[in-house]
Structure 1
Amino acid sequence: MTAPGPFAFDPDVPSHVRTLERLETEQVAWLGTIGRDGYPHAVPIWFLWKDGRALIMSEPATAKVRNIRANDRVLLHLEAGADGEQLNVLRGVAELSPEPSTAWLPRIAEAYTAKYDAWLKRLNLTTETMAERYSVMIEITPHTLIAW
């Protein structure tokens, strides 16, 4: 079965506007993949929203990378918001970039550092050392938005 085309956010739909704002500012989301046992697998991730896709650096030997190799259908779920009432879930497909995370740095380092610098410092990392360690770049293209 072929997946639908990429999701287009409509600037006239309030839930689309709120979701896009959150994708650009939220620091943690949950990535859901399908495990080899057929059950969902969810992990918190850091991500960067760029050009209509979520970009996630991952260590290569993780369950999420293994799961995406077997089944590219994923779910990106934002936290419930300060009031616990904001639902923002993107369903889509994931692709493991043929380029390592370090090759992406000229395109994303400035934004990634701006978003995660304080957290990286607490872990004694920089964006560059993060990209070396988390060398697999996962690109998520959303196809469906569930939000209210």
Structure 2
Amino acid sequence: MTFVVDPFIFDPADEKHARALARLESEQVAWFGTIGRDGFPHSVPIWFLWRDGRALIMSEPGSVKVRNLRENDRVIFHLESGDDGEQWTILRGTAAISPEPSSEWLDRIEAEYTAKYDEWLQRLGITTESMAGRYTALIEFTPAKAILQ
């Protein structure tokens, strides 16, 4: 099933959009929801990079979210509420699994990913490179609609 949409374009001059963009660039954890074969949602917390209007998510190739994406590319991506509990950043759109091997896409994101997650990686005793050796599927999420507050 293919569901083609134009990507949602954030307008940095709009206050809600600017706040959402800042959070997408700085937040470390988001929730990623896919649709299972049984029609029920499957939502998991993920690490991500926000680049060029898309979220990049490393995943184990055998994960439920990857399996679900192979059947249905419609997804939801959202951040936790902001500090005041009222800053919604909910994005609906589509996601695809990059056909590139992890060795190729890792070259493009390793420095940025390491900078964002270095403290967590150190705590876990791993590197971005060793993580990419296990999480070899790169999911590219493209938003089509935003619900912002």
Contact 2:76 2:92 in 1 (8 A): yes
Show the counterpart of 1:28.
29
Show the counterpart of 2:119.
118
Output one character per residue of 1:96-126: Cα deviation in whole Å (capped at 9) or x when no partner: 0001333212211111000001101111110
Contact 2:3 2:74 in 1 (8 A): no
Show the counterpart of 2:77.
76
| Equivalent position SS for 1:98 | coil
Q: 1:2 deviation in Å?
A: 4.5
Moved more, 27-36 or 101-110: 101-110
Show the counterpart of 1:7.
8
Show the counterpart of 1:37.
38
Task: Give the fraction of aligned pairs with identical amino acids, expressed as a percent.
Answer: 64
Structure 1 gaps of 5+ residues are none
Query: Which whole-Å CA distance do the structure 2 matches of 1:15 and 1:59 have between them?
Result: 33
Q: 1:40 deviation in Å?
A: 0.6
Give 4+ residue runs of structure 1 displaced > 6 Å after superposition: none
Equivalences, count: 148
Structure 2 gaps of 5+ residues are none
The one-letter amino acid of 1:68's match is L
Output one character per residue of 1:6-52: Cα deviation in whole Å (capped at 9) or x when no partner: 11111221111111101100000000100111011100000000111
Contact 2:3 2:94 in 1 (8 A): no
| Equivalent position SS for 2:100 | strand
The one-letter amino acid of 1:37's match is D
For the aligned residue pairs, the C-alpha RMSD in angstroms reads 1.1
Show the counterpart of 2:148.
147
Output one character per residue of 1:39-74: Cα deviation in whole Å (capped at 9) or x when no partner: 111000000001111000000111000000000000
Normalising by structure 1, we get a TM-score of 0.96
Show the counterpart of 2:63.
62
Show the counterpart of 1:18.
19
